[in-house]
Amino acid sequence: MTRSKTPYELAALATVAVPRLEVAGLRPPQFSDEVLSVTGLIDTSGDRWMVVCPHDTVGGLDMEAQNAVLERLGKAHDFSKIPFEVPRPAGFTRTPEGDRVMVHRDLGGHVMETSDFDDPHLLPASLGNALASLHNLPELIYTGVNLPAYSAIECRDRHQAVLDEAAQEVVIPANLWDRWEESLENLSLWRFLPSPIHGDLSETSIHVDHGRVCALTGFSSAHVGDPAVDIAWVFARASDEFLERFHEAYQQTRSEKDLHLLERAELLSELAVVRWLVHGLHSGDSDIVDEARAMLAELSASVGESTPKRTEKPAKAVSDSSTAEEKSSSQREDTTPRTTESSPESPLATQAARSDASTGKSEDHARPHSGPIRLSAHTSKADSEGASEQTAEAPTEHIDMSAILPTHE
């Protein structure tokens, strides 16, 4: 991870990325977190700009891929397929250390703040509509520029790999291990159609204007995968009232049924602590490791001794998950904290762990929300009523790709 950049450094870099840009002054937003440094600019003509510099030189998409993704998402917005704007890159450059820098026009509004979660009506509906619209896009929006694409089982195996890696180094509380293993082995949770997702949502990646989402930024972790990855951040941050309105709007816009979306979102919001721990181990940062250990202890205390009962019996394991099932049944014979000194794991999970470790994806770097931990499943009435109707091959709305993809393709 590289050092943060000051607003003045970013302003100087902006004039390199956009040669005719004449900076008149700095303006909000200005922040630097675990992932990136950002500043706003105003030029001598009064136009407003944004300068973004990711801190990790390895994680995320390269410049060409990110530019291609934003171009396609911009086209999707132009043809009213998504209701939010995205950055339209005006120029790229690199710092002397090799860090990527992107400059784009200001997107309006303000970056989302904690107080925005107090709105139980307009904003949650707008956010639900925005994310559902993104998840409704055809996979080709991403796969057409060679972004990663994971099946439902591959998504599950990636989570299992991260959990196993953490357990090799740190004792995982027994109640959390049992809770997470049960969810990972319950194949009914992992029957969903992968879709284009943002992959790294945070307050700073959501722009809000008069109570509605006007833009999304920070697509460096975009890929085809589990929509619950995006929902997990909302799940961890929002009040019950906000989440209920958000989920209602999401369901109304989403073209696919996903009966276990919030259950997986709950699981992933908890596993974010494990990802933060693994990031600390990879980076050799003892402060992150200690903080993650404390978060695990807090979560373990919140969960208690009993794991919530599932209404569905886990489906019979398929060949790529049989080893995980055997491992779990043997581990549950006792109640001691878990490690995985000799536990088997699927080849796919092993490959996923190596891939995550080598690429340093920003999804592993995001610090989990440190507020109260949500433990309810939030299964809606609509979900319950539609349970018998869900299939993994639900029909999708036809989208004219010629109206979305760049015209030169």
Q: pLDDT tens, 297-347? A: 999 999 876 544 333 334 333 334 444 344 444 443 443 444 443 333 333
pLDDT of 380 above 80: no
Which residues, 6+ apart, have CB-to-CB distance to 324 below 8 Å? 160, 181, 184, 185, 317, 345, 346
Q: Are residues 218 and 81 in the same domain?
A: no
20 phi, psi to nearest 5 deg: -90, 10
pLDDT of residue 367: 64
| Residue appearing with tokens 């040669």 | 19
Q: Percent of the chain, pLDDT > 70?
A: 72
Which is more confidently placed, 174 or 399? 174
d(CA 307, CA 145): 42
Q: Are residues 184 and 66 in the same domain?
A: no
Residue 239 included in any domain:
yes
Residue 20 included in any domain:
yes
CATH of the domain at 57: 3.30.200.20
Q: Are residues 51 and 141 in the same domain?
A: no
pLDDT of 193 above 90: yes
Number of separate domains in the chain: 2
Residue 160 belongs to what domain range?
108-306
- Mean residue pLDDT of the chain comes to 80
Q: Are residues 283 and 139 in the same domain?
A: yes
Residue 46 included in any domain:
yes
d(CA 376, CA 403): 41
Q: Are residues 239 and 115 in the same domain?
A: yes
Instruction: For residues 273-297, give the mean pLDDT.
Output: 94
pLDDT of 217 above 90: yes
CATH of the domain at 265: 3.90.1200.10
Residue 18 included in any domain:
yes
pLDDT of 215 above 70: yes
> Each residue of 30-49: b (16+ CB within 10 Å) or e?
eebebbbbbbbbebeeeeeb
pLDDT band at 348 (very low <50, low <70, confident <90, very high): very low
Boundary-marking domain end, from 280, 306, 332: 306
Boundary-marking domain end, from 84, 106, 128: 106
Instruction: For residues 112-131, give the mean pLDDT.
Output: 93
Instruction: For residues 79-93, give the mean pLDDT.
Output: 96
Q: Are residues 196 and 141 in the same domain?
A: yes
The stretches of 79-200 forming alpha helices (DSSP H) are 122-136, 140-143, 152-169, 174-185
pLDDT of residue 404: 54
pLDDT band at 34 (very low <50, low <70, confident <90, very high): confident
Judged by average pLDDT, the poorest of 104-108, 136-140, 262-266, 331-335 is: 331-335
Q: Are residues 53 and 144 in the same domain?
A: no
Q: Are residues 183 and 290 in the same domain?
A: yes
Residue 134 included in any domain:
yes
Boundary-marking domain end, from 85, 106, 127: 106
d(CA 342, CA 99): 39
Residue 359 included in any domain:
no
pLDDT of residue 358: 34
Q: How many CB atoms lie within 10 A of CB 270?
A: 25
pLDDT of residue 210: 92
Model pLDDT for residues 248-277, shown as the tens digit of each residue: 999 999 999 999 999 999 999 999 999 999
pLDDT of residue 3: 73
Judged by average pLDDT, the poorest of 1-10, 104-113, 137-146, 149-158 is: 1-10
pLDDT of residue 360: 38
Residue 385 included in any domain:
no
Q: Are residues 137 and 74 in the same domain?
A: no
Q: Are residues 265 and 224 in the same domain?
A: yes
pLDDT of residue 403: 52
Q: Are residues 140 and 164 in the same domain?
A: yes
Residue 400 included in any domain:
no
Q: Are residues 148 and 245 in the same domain?
A: yes
pLDDT of 385 above 50: no
pLDDT of residue 4: 83
Which is more confidently placed, 29 or 343? 29
Contact 177, 98 (CB under 8 A): no
pLDDT band at 183 (very low <50, low <70, confident <90, very high): very high
